[in-house]
Amino acid sequence: MANPFFYLALLIIFHLSMPTFSMKQTTILTDQLALLALKDNVVQDPENILTSNWSVSTPVCNWIGVSCGSKHRRVTTLDLTGFELVGTLPPHLGNLSFLSLLYLTNNSFHGRLPVQLSNLQRLKYLSFGNNSFGGEIPSWFGSLTELRSLYLYQNNFKGVIPLSLGYLPKLEMLSLYENQISGSIPSSIFNISSLQEIYLYSNMLYGSIPFISRGLLSLSVIDFSFNNLSGDIPKDLFDHLPNLKELYLEYNQLSGRIPTSLFKCKELQILYLSINQLEGSLSEEIGNLSMLQIFYISRNHFEGEIPKEIGNLTLLTAFDCAINNFTGTIPYQISNLKNLVFLNLEVNNITGSIPPQIFNISTLRDFSLASNRLSGHLPSNMGLWLPNLEGLYLGENQLIGPLPISISNASKLTVFEMSRNYFSGLVPDTLGNLRNLKVLNLGGNNLTSSGMSFLSSLINCKSLEWLLFNDNPLISGELPGLIGNLSNSLQRFYAFGCDIRGSIPSGIGNLSHLIIMGLANNELTGSIPASMGGLQELQGLYLEENKLEGSIPSELCHLNNLAYLNLTSNKLSGPIPACLGNLISLRSLFLSSNMFSSSIPSTLTGLNDLLFLDLSSNSLSGALPIDIRKWKVLINLDFSNNQLSGYIPTKVADLQDLTYFSLSNNIIIGSIPESFGDLLSLESLDLSRNNLSGEIPKSFEKLRYLKYFNVSFNRLQGEIPKGGSFGNYSIESFEGNEALCGAPQLHVPSCKPVRNSKARTKLIIYVTLPIVSTILDSLIQTMTMATIGYMGPEYGIDGIVSTKGDVYSFGILMMETITGEKPTSEMFEGERSLKSWVEESISSPLNQVVDTNLLSTIGRERLAASNCALSILRLGLECSAESPAERPDMKEVVAKLKKIKVELLRAEQCV
Ligand SMILES: *[C@@H]1O[C@H](CO)[C@@H](O)[C@H](O)[C@H]1NC(C)=O
Ligand SMILES: *[C@@H]1O[C@H](CO)[C@@H](O)[C@H](O)[C@H]1NC(C)=O
Ligand SMILES: *[C@@H]1O[C@H](CO)[C@@H](O)[C@H](O)[C@H]1NC(C)=O
Ligand SMILES: *[C@@H]1O[C@H](CO)[C@@H](O)[C@H](O)[C@H]1NC(C)=O
Ligand SMILES: *[C@@H]1O[C@H](CO)[C@@H](O)[C@H](O)[C@H]1NC(C)=O
Ligand SMILES: *[C@@H]1O[C@H](CO)[C@@H](O)[C@H](O)[C@H]1NC(C)=O
Ligand SMILES: *[C@@H]1O[C@H](CO)[C@@H](O)[C@H](O)[C@H]1NC(C)=O
Ligand SMILES: *[C@H]1O[C@@H](CO)[C@H](O)[C@@H](O)[C@@H]1NC(C)=O
């Protein structure tokens, strides 16, 4: 497109000569032709509205959506809102010279806006909202000087906001939200003294909020939320906005303090500042904003005490200051807020006891004080005046004493979250009166129960989805047989870390919607009930650290959704059932420290998505599975402390993600395969206490992550390699072998002369690109297997195994591979994560996040490797987007990786 200013100039000239021209030359026939041109440009009209109604046999002014001026009988309004039309706009629309209202909202028009629309000099109201228009917002809008409202929201407009919009002297409403507009907000916008409402949210705007230099007496709504705005909020911004009612700035990167001028906006009703980097304390002047109804400042860095003046905001319905650094106590004046529905103070550093008056706010619906340092007892009558309460979150504090029985009077209570405090005494048997209860979390307290009678009462809670009372060491007794009568909606049952005795009742198999069952760390005896095979939606079964006996019932092999199975540390015996190989959703299988015998069933290698496999400390015998390479994405493999025999399969090298591998304390024979050197992810390898012979392959020098290496007590001989990480291993790694030789500090005899070091430098230069290339290969392969490296956030929340979760984990894995930093590294504390670190640094020319080992070369080759690494990092960020919907799907990711690879190969040829 040509220079927009050129158009603007042209149009102004055109505009000056227009009135006489248009009056004389155009008629209602011109209008008809323009509308028929529009009709022609509509390619889909599912309701046949234009098709059937816009007929030349009826007068234009009678057409649906059209109306005409009463005197001149020319088209003045065209309103096609919500007709589901698909098409483009013809230039002829610019001939509707009397048009004052043009509404095409809620259709699927696409393409660019024809410049001829700038002829519509009488236009006052224009809405193209919720269509698919693209291209830049044309600067000729600036010539439509009669415009009162301009709605371009929910389209695909890109580029910047044209300065010329600031020259619309009568504009009242500007709505550009949900486009892909970038650049900064032009300060000219604030020159429009007629402006009433401005909506720019959900774009990609950056830079700081512009200054206002004159009074904007009509401006009542500013919404700049969900952008990338940064810098301080201008100090005197609010000096000029005496009638501001709603201010939305959340989800930007604004920093600094709240300007005190804000407290001059006495009309303010809604204030959203959440998710920024604002700091400082909250001024007591907040009490001056007496019209305030909604006040959100969560996820910033505010500190100091919550001022008691908050209690003067008597119209307040919602107050959220969660995830800040507020200290001090909760001002009891909050209980003056008789309209409060939503109160969230969670994740701060608030101390003292909870003012009892707060439980008198009968309007409260959601109330959270979780994750603070609150102490003291809860008032025994706390539940009596909370008829509207649905969510009560007091978890992760230091509260003591009993759970008040009166809570059963809060009859709408849906979420009751009391975990990780020091509550003691009986779990009230009256909880069953809370018929709407969905989530009950009492975990991590010091509660007791008499014969688990509370479980019987909870049978009345027909909507219960989460029942969590884990880590209450004084909850003792046997699981009642009627546990199977608990809510049919139950998804999570956490009873681990209690003192539960007896056997698991077979009625548990009735809980057909259970997703996670945690009974670990108890004193359970007897066998695993076969009825558990009926838990068709089960994804996690945790029975570790009990005293369960017998064999694994084959019915468990029917759990098609099972992803996590942990039976560690029980007294289970018999062979591992071959049918476990049917559980193709398994990601993690822990059977260690039992008495399983016989050989490892070959079917287990059919578990293609397995990430963790621990069969250690049993009595397993026979050879290692031949098809070990089928575990393409395995991360941890532990077969130690069994009686496994035979050779190490050479194909072990296909396990490209393997990080931890132990075969220690078996009776494995033969040599260590050279191909181990291809296990580039390996961090820990334990082959000690076997019967291995031959040399330690030199290829191990390639494994730069290998921190732990142990081949002690075998029958190895020859030179201990010196390169790679070998300098870091000590004598313990090599002792008890027949004839190893090498460095004197390892207490082995020295060997014959060594290799030429010049040759090695050269080798590194030629090896680096292939390393990046190998990483790419393995990433592509991992991706094609549709699998994960690390658990995505959804696993923690819903226990749901999803492919989008896989994409997330894969994104993290990509970033880890390239940066050489684990997401769990200690450099990532507090706000900083691997992701945010990559995000911050990716734009810096220094590329400081890319692992220097990957770039240890020079010149063009370094550039190629570095470009490739950056592309992978960008893709990693895309994949690990917070919201699953924003993540690309697997196919896209593979395609992108392949493209990156082609580029790398191309660059490689130029080197
Ligand atoms: C077109 O729609 C208008 C408004 O609904 C209606 O009054 C008119 O009769 C319709 N004309 C035809 C030809 O269907
Ligand atoms: C457009 O459609 C949405 C969703 O159906 C609706 O909420 C909105 O009110 C419609 N807009 C107009 C101007 O009719
Ligand atoms: C809270 O303050 C501590 C100590 O000043 C600081 O380390 C931490 O990052 C702050 N947290 C937030 C959310 O601002
Ligand atoms: C705020 O409320 C307190 C009582 O809690 C009252 O004494 C004070 O006058 C009020 N301030 C204003 C400005 O209304
Ligand atoms: C909470 O405040 C105390 C001092 O009052 C401080 O030592 C501690 O680090 C703070 N905790 C957090 C999480 O900011
Ligand atoms: C839990 O209760 C027991 C017995 O009443 C008591 O000895 C113990 O100190 C309590 N533990 C905690 C963390 O409150
Ligand atoms: C399984 O249980 C063992 C023993 O408690 C524990 O070390 C391991 O982390 C658990 N694995 C999983 C995936 O829960
Ligand atoms: C007005 O629109 C242009 C396209 O922008 C057409 O070319 C003209 O023919 C039309 N004029 C009339 C009088 O219909």
Q: Is 730 found in the same domain as 650?
A: yes
Q: What is the pLDDT of residues 205-239, one digit of tens each?
A: 999 999 998 899 999 999 999 999 999 999 989 99
Counting every residue written for the chain, the total comes to 911
Q: Which ligand is nearest to the CA of 104?
A: 2
Q: Based on the domain organization, do 784 and 680 belong to the same domain?
A: no
- Residue 587 included in any domain: yes
**3-state DSSP call for residue 143?**
helix
Alpha helices in 785-881 (DSSP H): 793-798, 803-819, 834-841, 859-879
804: in domain: yes
Please give the pLDDT value at position 335: 95
CATH code at position 580: 3.80.10.10
Give the lowest-confidence range in 12-21, 169-178, 274-283, 702-711: 12-21
Clarify whether residues 561 and 539 are in a common domain.
yes
**Angle of the 757-784 helix axis to the 890-910 helix axis, nearest 10:** 160
Q: Which ligand places an atom closest to the C-alpha of 563?
A: 7
Tell me which of 651 and 493 has the higher pLDDT: 493
| Contact indicator for 309, 334 with CB cutoff of 8 Å | no
Residue with CA nearest ligand 8 atom 9: 92
User: For residue range 309-357, what is the model confidence (pLDDT) as tens digits?
Assistant: 999 999 999 999 999 999 999 999 999 999 999 999 999 999 999 999 9
Instruction: Answer whether 141's CB lies under 8 Å from 168's CB.
Output: yes
Give a yes or no: residue 795 inside a domain.
Answer: yes
User: What's the CA-to-centroid distance between 608 and ligand 3, angstroms?
Assistant: 43
CA triple 717-722-728, angle to 5 deg: 105
- What's the Cα-to-Cα distance from 250 to each of 185, 228, 239, 831, rounded to whole Å? 16, 10, 21, 18
Q: The domain spanning residue 870 has which CATH number?
A: 1.10.510.10
3-state helix, strand, coil in the chain (%, to 5): 30, 20, 50
- 748 & 765 share domain: no
- Domain ranges, residue 716: 523-755
**pLDDT for the residue 854:** 57
Whether residue 783 sits in one domain with residue 704? no
User: Do both 746 and 762 map to the same domain?
Assistant: no
User: Which residues, in sequence order, are CB contacts of 783 under 8 Å at separation 6+?
Assistant: 810, 890, 893, 894, 897
Centre of ligand 4 from the C-alpha of residue 308, in Å: 9
Distance CA 223, CA 251 (A): 11
Structural domain tally of the chain? 3
C-alpha to C-alpha distance for 126 and 219, rounded to whole angstroms:
20
Pocket probe for ligand 2: among 130, 154, 175, 177, the residue whose CB has the most ligand atoms within 8 Å is: 130
Domain annotation covers residue 881: yes
Residue nearest to atom 3 of ligand 2 (CA): 106
CA 850 vs. chain centroid, Å, equals: 23
**798 or 740, which is more confident?**
740
The C-alpha angle with vertex 387 and arms to 385 and 390, in degrees rounded to 5, equals 120
Q: Are residues 716 and 795 in the same domain?
A: no
Q: Are 639 and 732 in the same domain? A: yes
**17 and 53 together in one domain:** yes
Ligand 5: which atom is nearest the Cα of residue 349? 1
Query: 281 and 309 in contact (C-beta within 8 Å)?
Result: no
Q: Is 94 in the pocket of ligand 8 (CB under 6 A)?
A: yes
Of 733, 755, 777, at which residue does a domain stop?
755
- pLDDT of 830 reads 58
Cross-strand partners of 762: none
The last residue of one of the domains, among 755, 771, 799, is 755
- Indicate the SS3 state at residue 15: helix
Ligand 7 centroid – CA 566 distance (Å): 6
Q: Is the CB of 327 under 6 A from ligand 5?
A: yes
Measured in whole angstroms, the distance separating CA 15 from the mean position of its chain's CA atoms is 51
**Residue 879 above 50 pLDDT?**
yes
Q: What is the pLDDT of residues 436-476, one digit of tens each?
A: 999 999 999 999 998 888 999 999 999 999 999 999 999 99
Interatomic CA distance for residues 374 and 376, integer angstroms: 7
Q: How far is the CA of 30 from the centre of ligand 8 (A)?
A: 8
144 located within any domain? yes
Which residue is listed with tokens 């996820």? 299
φ, ψ of residue 623 in degrees (nearest 5): -85, 165
Q: Give one word for 421, left, alpha or beta, with left for phi > 0 and alpha for psi -120 to 50.
A: beta
Give SS3 for 37.
helix
- Does 673 fall in a domain? yes
Per-residue pLDDT, 882: 78
Q: Determine, yes or no, domain membership for 73.
A: yes
Sole residue written with tokens 């509308």: 35
pLDDT in tens, 512-551: 999 999 999 999 999 999 999 999 999 999 999 999 999 9
Q: Quick one: 673 and 694 in the same domain? A: yes
Domain end (from 181, 206, 238): 181
Same domain for 741 and 878, yes or no, is: no
How many DSSP H helices and E strands does the chain contain? 10, 53
Measured distance CA(89)–CA(66) in Å, rounded: 16
Choose between 71 and 114: higher pLDDT.
Answer: 114
- Tell me how far apart the alpha carbons of residues 586 and 567 are, in angstroms, rounded to a whole number: 14
Q: Is the pLDDT of residue 847 over 50?
A: no
704, 772: one domain = no
**Is residue 309 in some structural domain?**
no
